[in-house]
């Protein structure tokens, strides 16, 4: 079927549709919607449940460099060997140590971000364009 034939068929159908009475148009509309709904239902998998993604593996880096292939603890991201059973720091001393570690990590990240900022002429050109617009 060529594009011309397709346009011709569309215009013929439109003329037929407009020539129908209002009740006939509505019944045709309902029938077409029902047919379209059945077509969509036929394309979907028979199970209405969402298919769950395959669970990921632990993924921690082992000493020899490969990723750990053990299953993670239920509800966690790591296997028991790589901290999946950890309950976190329990004492005030442990909590303070973790907080300090997080502060150090944030500081290093901020420094690295500042180092990556480039003061090249091209960068300053784009900065000046942003402020003037």
Where are the domains positioned within the chain? 3-43
Q: Measured between alpha carbons, how far is 98 from 89 in angstroms, rounded to an integer?
A: 8
Q: Could you tell me the pLDDT band of residue 85, with boundaries at 50, 70 and 90?
A: confident
Per-residue model confidence (pLDDT) at position 133: 47
Query: Does the pLDDT at position 102 exceed 90?
Result: yes
Q: Measured between alpha carbons, how far is 14 from 94 in angstroms, rounded to an integer?
A: 76
Highest averaged pLDDT of the listed ranges 24-38, 41-55, 98-112: 98-112
Q: Measured between alpha carbons, how far is 77 from 43 in angstroms, rounded to an integer?
A: 34
What residues pair up with 61 in beta bridges, in sequence order?
Answer: 67
Q: Could you tell me the pLDDT band of residue 56, with boundaries at 50, 70 and 90?
A: confident
pTM for the structure as a whole: 0.36
Query: Does the pLDDT at position 123 exceed 80?
Result: no
Per-residue model confidence (pLDDT) at position 49: 55
């Amino acid at each position: 079927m060529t594009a011309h034939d397709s346009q011709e068929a569309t215009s013929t159908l439109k003329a037929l549709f407009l020539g129908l009475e209002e009740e006939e148009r509505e019944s045709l509309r309902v029938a077409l919607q029902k047919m379209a709904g059945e077509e969509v239902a036929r394309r979907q998998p028979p199970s209405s449940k969402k298919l769950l993604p395959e669970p990921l593996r632990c993924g921690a880096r082992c000493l020899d460099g490969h990723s750990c292939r053990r299953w993670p603890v239920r509800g966690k991201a790591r296997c028991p060997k790589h901290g999946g059973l950890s309950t976190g720091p329990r004492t005030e001393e442990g909590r303070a140590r973790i907080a300090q570690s997080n502060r150090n990590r944030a500081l290093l990240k901020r420094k690295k971000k500042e180092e990556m900022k480039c003061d090249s002429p091209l960068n300053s050109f784009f900065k000046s364009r942003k402020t003037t617009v």
